[in-house]
Amino acid sequence: MTHAPLLILPPDVDGVARAAAVLRDGGLVSFPTETVYGLGADARKDRAVAGIFAAKGRPSFNPLIVHLPDMAAAEKYCVFNDDATRLADAFWPGALTLVLPLRPDAGISRLVTAGLDTLAVRVPDHPVAQRLLRAFGGPVAAPSANPSGRISPTTAAHVSAGLGNKINALVDGGPCSVGLESTIVSCVGRPALLRAGGIPTEALETCLGAPLALPDDPETPQSPGQLASHYAPLGTVRLNATEAQSGEVLLGFGPVSADLNLSPTGDLTEAAAKLFDYLHRLDLMGATRIAVSPIPDRGLGRAINDRLRRAAAPR
Ligand code: TXA
Ligand code: MG
């Protein structure tokens, strides 16, 4: 969607219906949750999700939390084990995010998971968030609605000051009650705390009847920061390639003849939207040596290059 002047919407049924329509059109909508304001997009649309990263100016592709109205909706996208079910029963709706195995046929954009096979899901407790999620009827990917590196927003005024000219709509639901992001727990294997937040660790441990593993605990899979670097294609990666050498598959950008082209017109948002999908396709093609066209190091190009440098790093 193009960026017409910011549509500021009231939190009533009509305002929320208009916000849901913007999401359906692939637009960006900021909405209140009990923790902080989120910057939402349809989690199934690559272009819309790429728009989140462009608006925030994130220099890397951190995976995003998907917001759903209830546990039944969340079960369509990921697999709950006993620990996850216990935590969800006790703390949803609320300030808890669970990282769970992603259902392969879930239809979630790979940009949401940064190519991982896990998904972070949350059922927010805020009445306006609930109303919006039910009106939209699909998964909403949403990081906090602040420019990268800035403070998380807890009022509509914070959002419009930081991102007002970069998003399509903002539902004004007043100040957030918790004011601190959700607690993130991975239930892939032994339950592990990935981020402290709105629900105290002690309450989670009481519910589970066992201590949570901590991010620096050797038994814990990975902390969120490390997780973003986990995915790399099976083949070796050569960057800034003007053409493919023999035996190489070219992942192109701009007007080059390539096996796969991230954006023939040189559009960085389009390239970001396709990046993870194309890295997976290169695996499916059995590419053992991958050459990648130069990508300009500005805007979303910085996040794309960050990802490609990790993919190219010796393993
Ligand atoms: O309270 C909140 O959680 C707010 C509201 C809007 O819901 N959202 C939020 O999103 O704080 P964000 O993008 O600022 O933080 C998401 C965190 C990141 O640290 C990211 O690494 C982690 O969630 N995350 C997302 N998917 C993950 C995954 N599959 N595995 C591990 N960590 C994940
Ligand atoms: Mg944030």
Q: Where are the domains of the chain?
A: 7-180, 236-312
- pLDDT for the residue 2: 53
- pLDDT for the residue 11: 97
> Which is the closest atom of ligand 1 to the Cα of 228?
21
- pLDDT for the residue 219: 53
Task: State whether the beta carbon of 182 lies less than 6 angstroms from ligand 1.
Answer: yes
Task: State whether the beta carbon of 123 lies less than 6 angstroms from ligand 1.
Answer: no
- pLDDT for the residue 294: 98
**CA 143 / ligand 2 centre spacing (Å):** 6
> 121: which 2 tokens?
């899901």
Q: What is the pLDDT along the chain (315 residues), one digit of tens a residue?
A: 555 789 999 999 999 999 999 999 999 999 999 999 999 999 999 999 999 999 999 888 889 999 999 999 999 999 999 999 999 999 999 999 999 999 989 999 999 998 899 999 999 999 999 999 999 999 999 999 999 888 889 999 999 999 999 999 999 999 998 888 999 999 998 999 998 888 988 999 999 999 999 866 555 545 444 444 445 788 999 999 999 999 999 999 999 999 999 999 999 989 988 888 898 789 889 999 999 999 999 888 988 898 898 888 876
Count CB-CB contacts under 10 A for residue 78: 23
How are beta strands 38-42 and 140-141 bridged, if at all? antiparallel
Amino acid found at 81: N
Q: What are phi and psi of 260, to 5 degrees?
A: -135, 140
Cα angle: 244, vertex 246, 251; to 5 degrees: 30
Task: State whether the beta carbon of 32 lies less than 6 angstroms from ligand 1.
Answer: no
The CATH class, in words, for 7-180 is: alpha beta
**CA 65 / ligand 1 centre spacing (Å):** 5
Nearest CA to ligand 1 atom 7: 38
Rg (CA), the chain: 20
Query: Which candidate, 183, 108, 101, 112, places its Cα nearest to that of 143?
Result: 112
Q: Which residue has 């009990």 as its token pair?
A: 34
Q: Give the burial class of 36: count Cβ atoms within 10 A of its Cβ; 0-12 exposed, 13-18 middle, 19 or more buried.
A: buried
> What's the predicted TM-score (pTM) here?
0.88
Q: Which residue from 28, 49, 180, 184 has its CB within 8 A of the most atoms of ligand 1, so it is best to mutate? A: 184
Using CA atoms, how far residue 84 sits from 206, 274, 292, in Å, is 14, 31, 40
